[in-house]
Amino acid sequence: MENRIYRASDGPLRAYSIERRTKETQVRAELCLDGGEVRVSTGIGFFDHMLTALAFYAGWGLTLEAHGDLEVDGHHTVEDTGIVLGQAFSRALGERKGIHRFGSAYIPMDEALCFTALDLSNRPYLVFDAQMPQPMIGDYDACLTAEFMRAFAFNGGITLHQKCCCGSNAHHITEAIFKSLGAAIKEASTITGTGVTSTKGVL
């Protein structure tokens, strides 16, 4: 189920609502690129914290609810959330006219320093270079950050590069990665013109 969200008076918001159901997960998201309340519930506490941070630094309004087979592990829930959020983001961008297109950010968190650079090119790719010193962060498998980023980038039409420059705490590294993603998305999705930012004339 997918729906574009409209303003009452002056045309479409950059917003989209979407729901995805499989035998493993049910994920529903309402995303507004131009701000709003943030409410996230996935059943994985640390992942909720990361998605909330992503939305905050991206300047999004986001309502997201996920139910998955957590009795197995968190993989399906995290990956499918990335799929749904990426699809909602791509559709909310529409034809991508007027956006800055490129964004980057360094974010420090204590001993950790992480970097994100991205291009809202509609040509998905992921380069993820972040080793996790500890395997678990609460009830969250640290390796799932790469799975989320892959699903989000490939469904969002994003060329995404992320790197941990230094860090010894998986919590700090992961949080800096999500926050840098949010900051880079905010820059890249800001409206700075009217046409498509491409010599091709299309993204």
Q: Which two tokens stand for residue 197?
A: 């930012």
Question: Would you state the pLDDT for residue 3?
Answer: 62
C-alpha span between 24 and 29 (Å, rounded)? 17
Count: domains in the chain = 1
pLDDT for 119-145, tens place per residue?
999 999 999 999 999 999 999 999 999
Which amino acid is residue 154, in one-letter code? F
Give the domain extent around 42.
2-189
Question: Would you state the pLDDT for residue 7?
Answer: 41
| Mean confidence (pLDDT) of the chain | 93
Residue 115 near residue 104 (C-beta atoms within 8 A) = yes
C-alpha span between 89 and 121 (Å, rounded)? 13
How confident is residue 81, by pLDDT bands cut at 50, 70 and 90? very high
pLDDT for 149-202, tens place per residue?
999 999 999 999 999 999 999 999 999 999 999 999 999 999 998 877 777 777
CATH of the domain at 35: 3.30.230.40
Is there a domain that residue 202 lies in? no
Question: Would you state the pLDDT for residue 202?
Answer: 76
Is there a domain that residue 195 lies in? no
pLDDT for 45-54, tens place per residue?
999 999 999 9
Is there a domain that residue 201 lies in? no
List of E strands, the chain: 2-6, 12-21, 25-32, 38-41, 61-68, 102-109, 112-119, 125-129, 136-137, 140-141, 159-166
Which amino acid is residue 157, in one-letter code? G
Please state which of the ranges 21-30, 100-109, 194-203 shows the lowest mean pLDDT. Answer: 194-203
Is there a domain that residue 199 lies in? no
Question: Would you state the pLDDT for residue 198?
Answer: 76
Question: Would you state the pLDDT for residue 2?
Answer: 57
